């Protein structure tokens, strides 16, 4: 399934027994639809987004009885899952498919509102309402430094050494957005809060609050350098997840 959700309505993706999460809401709805009673229905997701982070391309998978077609399941979920979640599409995948472990790349989009309208109640929960001008040239030059296989250890929440800190970034660019600029980045993997730390630091460079050379220095783990505070979660969207063609629909 490909999902959209409004992160402001949830305490993140991952199931928590005492909080409303995307995974928890999907599992509770599927349990009712499939007649599982008190048993938990397990939904696997491609990305474990934090509280306040949105998605327009989250991929999730669940095992369901063969009597349900993909179209029927999508329709039933959209009718009953409740506020904040919409299933864009559903299809039958290979039995061994896992949306997280088989992902080849993920793309995130981060919106920065430089226009005063970004503070509108209709926008403020879906962007960073900065309302300040940014040097577009510095944003572009900073994003170019991220390309390739680099260590993003300093652009991540501490304590993530289990799989190392090297990520391969295949695309990183700033594009115009109707209320400002949006940062789009594609990589084979992401560290926790990596995109938010990148955006926070790049924005400070574009505001003249720190030099462009800090980006390369942070990637090289130069002693004494630290990132800027992370950008708020409200501007971040999981936009797309890519897979090898053979892992798609049967």
Cα 129–Cα 133–Cα 137 angle in degrees, nearest 5:
120
Tens of pLDDT, residue by residue over 101-110, are: 999 999 999 9
Tens of pLDDT, residue by residue over 170-226, are: 999 999 999 999 999 999 999 999 999 999 999 999 999 999 999 999 999 999 999
Read off the pLDDT of each residue in 86-104 and give the average, rounded to a whole number. Answer: 95
Point out the residues that are catalytic. Answer: 50
- Examine the pLDDT at 15 and tell me if it is beyond 70: yes
Tens of pLDDT, residue by residue over 111-153, are: 999 999 999 999 999 999 999 999 999 999 999 999 999 999 9
Query: What does the alpha-carbon distance between residue 202 and residue 12 come to, in Å, rounded to a whole number?
Result: 25
- Cβ atoms of residues 81 and 26 within 8 Å: yes
- Cβ atoms of residues 15 and 28 within 8 Å: no
Query: What does the alpha-carbon distance between residue 112 and residue 129 come to, in Å, rounded to a whole number?
Result: 6
Cα 105–Cα 107–Cα 111 angle in degrees, nearest 5:
165
Query: What does the alpha-carbon distance between residue 203 and residue 208 come to, in Å, rounded to a whole number?
Result: 9
Query: What does the alpha-carbon distance between residue 192 and residue 126 come to, in Å, rounded to a whole number?
Result: 20
Instruction: Decide: helix, strand or coil at residue 178.
Output: coil
| Lowest pLDDT segment from 41-50, 106-115, 156-165 | 156-165
Q: Which residues of 95-117 are buried (b: 16+ CB within 10 A; e: fewer)?
A: eebebeebbebbbbbbbbbbbeb
CATH topology identical between 2-101 and 105-242: yes
Pick 2-101's CATH classification: 3.30.70.580, 3.10.440.10, 2.60.40.1660, 3.40.50.620. 3.30.70.580
Q: H/E element holding 198?
A: helix 194-206
Q: What's the topology of domain 105-242?
A: Alpha-Beta Plaits (3.30.70)
Residue 50 DSSP one-character state: P
pTM above 0.85, yes or no: yes
Domain regions of the chain by residue span: 2-101, 105-242
| pLDDT given for residue 250 in this prediction | 46
């Amino acid at each position: 399934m490909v999902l959209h959700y409004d992160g402001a309505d949830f305490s993140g993706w991952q199931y928590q027994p005492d909080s409303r999460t995307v995974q928890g809401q999907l599992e509770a709805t599927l349990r009712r639809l499939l007649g599982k009673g008190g048993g938990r229905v397990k939904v696997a997701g491609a990305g474990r987004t934090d509280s306040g982070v949105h998605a327009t391309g989250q991929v999730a998978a669940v095992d369901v009885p063969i009597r349900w077609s993909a179209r029927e399941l999508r329709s039933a979920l959209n009718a009953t899952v409740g506020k904040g979640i919409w299933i864009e599409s559903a299809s039958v995948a290979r039995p061994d498919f896992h949306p997280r472990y088989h992902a080849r790349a993920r793309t995130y989009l981060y919106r920065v509102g430089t226009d005063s309208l970004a503070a509108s109640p209709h926008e403020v929960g879906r962007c960073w309402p900065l309302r300040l001008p940014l040097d577009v040239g510095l944003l572009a030059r900073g994003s170019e430094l991220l390309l390739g296989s680099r260590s993003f250890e300093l652009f991540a929440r501490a304590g993530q050494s289990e799989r190392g800190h090297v990520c391969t970034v295949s695309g990183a660019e700033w594009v115009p957005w109707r209320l400002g600029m949006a940062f789009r980045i594609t990589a084979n993997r992401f560290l926790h809060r990596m995109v938010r730390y990148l955006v926070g630091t790049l924005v400070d460079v574009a505001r003249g609050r720190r030099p462009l050379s800090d980006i390369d220095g942070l990637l090289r783990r130069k002693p004494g350098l630290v990132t800027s505070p992370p950008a708020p979660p409200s501007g971040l969207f999981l936009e797309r997840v890519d897979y090898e063609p053979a892992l798609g629909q049967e």
